[in-house]
A = this chain, B = another copy of it.
């Protein structure tokens, strides 16, 4: 029997009890809101984690961030996949290959040029690439504003080729909505933008099936999704300190952590050094812009109990520096002590690892150790 004391550090751990709780929370919300949930699997990039989304039932619809994910999830039996990054026409052959395998792979775009490329690829392949038009609801990234002059033209190109599936938007700015009220407003704006764009297309005589919205903050804040057909969110399976800082979850909901070992002390500087640097945590400093900067992460003991006031404040490639917040009195953390670091950004930290050592934090040995039940691998690359 292996516990978290056994594998060489650093390594990533996922607590399945917390994943299940996080998954159930959003599934219940989506059901109450009357929308299909289409989880974004870009955070965990794991078929095993994704299986918890549908509890062993028929694979659910998913969102992916790369074609490598789409291909891996297709191999794993998923048949309803949205690739939510604006399509590069060069990648259409891989899209067509997935469609030919019987996977409904939806692509995203925001220009007439891309729409022409999708229409042309569909004609050549003798099939229809189901396509969504990206709507920009908050000036965050790509997409057309709901009232953009070009929207009906793009819809028309896709409609004519039999490719128009719907519209999709993502409230990227909701990651900076600091209060519950701001997050509700972001959710309303996200919905309003997607529905307005869909209505414009319908008014132009086009058929819009899918109206897709979502981000982890807005998915947890939305109170009314009238006109929306599906909700996307990804980060929520693990959550992280950025989400806790926004109040979307509690620190105790964080299901991903990185186990590190104390390899040195610099009492003259107040530093505890570990073998977990940015290679294990990523360089993400997402909480730097929040009211409480959490450095590279908060520290817990190996059982997952927070060590109040202890923060990972610096990182080099394979070294982490832990520092106590002003006035904090720390427990003794001698050489060889294993700790867990809770990350700023689960998507970025998870991406630094091949996979996850899996525990259930509610099940321990008589000595209180968490048993490693499995190793779940990740999809990587593009």
Contacts and interface: CB of A to CB of B under 8 A. Distances in A.
Given A282-B283, A382-B10, A263 B85 contact: yes
Contacts of A42: 317-318
A266 interface: yes
A335 B8 contact: no
Contacts of A321: 141
Q: Chain copies in the assembly?
A: 2
Nearest to A264: B142
Interface stretch (A24-32, A154-162, A273-281): A273-281
B283 A85 contact: no
Nearest to A283: B283
Given A273-B86, A348-B283, A111 B264 contact: yes
B318 A142 contact: no
Contacts of A66: 279, 318
A85 B319 contact: yes
B318 A65 contact: yes
Interface in A241-294: 261, 263-266, 269, 273, 275, 278-280, 282-285
A11 B111 CA distance: 24
Nearest to A172: B316
Interface in A20-43: 42
Interface stretch (A89-97, A195-203, A218-226, A356-364): A89-97
Contacts of A65: 279, 317-318
Contact of A114 (B89, B335, B345): B335
A273 B90 CA distance: 16
B263 A142 contact: yes
Contacts of A15: none
A87 interface: yes
Interface string A203-219: 00000000000000000
A50 interface: no
A88 B9 contact: yes
Contacts of A282: 282-283
Interface of A: 8-11, 42, 65-67, 85-91, 94, 110-111, 113-114, 136, 139, 141-142, 172, 261, 263-266, 269, 273, 275, 278-280, 282-285, 316-319, 321, 334-336, 345, 347-348, 351-354, 380-382
